[in-house]
Structure 1
Amino acid sequence: MALPEPFNHQDFLLTLDTSKLPLIENALPGVHIWPLFLDAENGLWVIRAKFEPGIVLPKHFHTGTVHFYTTAGSWHYLEYPDQPQTAGCYLYEPGGSIHTFATDAEGEGADGFMIINGCNVNFDDEGNFLNIMDAGWIEMMVLEAAKAQGIPSPRYIRPGGNAKFTSE
């Protein structure tokens, strides 16, 4: 078999260095993110996030899978307090799972990389529906937070006919 001809020509690699990109602070209170890949059409979002100590996010139901690699600090699900996720941990979450993300109030918080398919359906402490977080919602929230902080439109990859960065 001969080497095939590329059907998507690349003049450059689509790569992002989060050490050189601005951090979108308080995208959610106490949650700071770098958007990396946001695909609202296919329901895929890839982000790097830093969580401050003492963060508790709403209980949520995943409609799709999640891959979460913790790069620093630690966090846990309130439903699984004896299974903390620390630097170097990789967690796979199946679609249909329900849990509540938290960092220890006394710790350093956490930093991690996530690949999320589908959405998070969020609920309050009484089990009442709050909202839905998906790639489109994340993109809208990131753009609003960046504008409020005076950050130029953040650079991330948005797919399409030919995948590209959102800004140069």
Structure 2
Amino acid sequence: MPLPLAIHEQDRLLSLNVNEEPAIDLGHLIPGMKLWPLFLDPDNGTWVLYAHYAPGTQLPKHFHTGAVHFFTLKGTWGYKEYPQDMQTAGSYLYEPPGTVHTFHIPDDGEPVEGFMVVSGVNVVFDDGGNYLSTDHAGSMEQIFLDAAQQQGIDMPRYIRPSGPAAFTA
């Protein structure tokens, strides 16, 4: 049986190593946060990141329109809304669409590192529940590009599976 006509030829694997790519320090937005973009797909609303958070880091309360998968490699963290469910090294967390929470790391804790796959949009709120912003694969890509430029570093390599929509040849 012949191979299908709609296959993608590639000459090498699409593989990244966070030990070989620079982190993007986003401390100007969230103190203590460094991220490595691994896969950013604005067309399908998927973003894959490797994260490093310092002790005391807290993200604003946010609502997920899509699912999130987070695997913790180092440290302990939790959501303020679920203090009984702290995540530790080796924990895998699935967040179904529609969840709302406030990520935080104890001030006296150790740094946290983990790997996340996010689908859809994060809608961000202030402490009073007022809308602040939205984050998605496209906005995250722009945040990374701007931060790398401001920090005078090369943008780390990441996988971007598609480009602008266009007609076939």
Asked whether the two chains share a fold, i.e. TM above 0.5, the reply is yes
1:62 corresponds to 2:64? yes
List alignment gaps of at least 5 residues for structure 1: 162-168
CA distance in 2: counterparts of 1:45 and 1:3, whole angstroms: 34
CA distance in 1: counterparts of 2:105 and 2:60, whole angstroms: 13
Task: Provide the residue aligned with 2:167 in structure 1.
Answer: none
1:14 corresponds to 2:14? yes
Task: Provide the residue aligned with 2:34 in structure 1.
Answer: 32
For 2:127, the aligned partner's letter is: D
Superimposed CA distance per residue, residues 54-112 of structure 1 (whole angstroms, 9 cap, x where no aligned partner): 01111110000000000111110001111111111000000001111000100112110
For 1:4, the aligned partner's letter is: L
1:150 corresponds to 2:152? yes
SS at match of 1:140: helix
* TM-aligned CA distance change 1:81 to 1:160, over 3 Å: same
Aligned-pair identity (%): 52
For 2:97, the aligned partner's letter is: G
Task: Provide the residue aligned with 2:130 in structure 1.
Answer: 128
Matching residue within 45, 48, 51 for 2:47? 45
Task: Provide the residue aligned with 2:108 in structure 1.
Answer: 106
Work out whether residues 72 and 115 of structure 2, in 8 Å CA contact, stay in contact via their aligned partners in 1: yes
SS at match of 2:78: strand
CA distance in 2: counterparts of 1:160 and 1:38, whole angstroms: 9
List alignment gaps of at least 5 residues for structure 2: 164-169
Q: TM-score by structure 2 length?
A: 0.90
* TM-aligned CA distance change 1:95 to 1:151, over 3 Å: same
The farther-off stretch of 101-110 and 23-32 is 23-32
Q: TM-score by structure 1 length?
A: 0.91
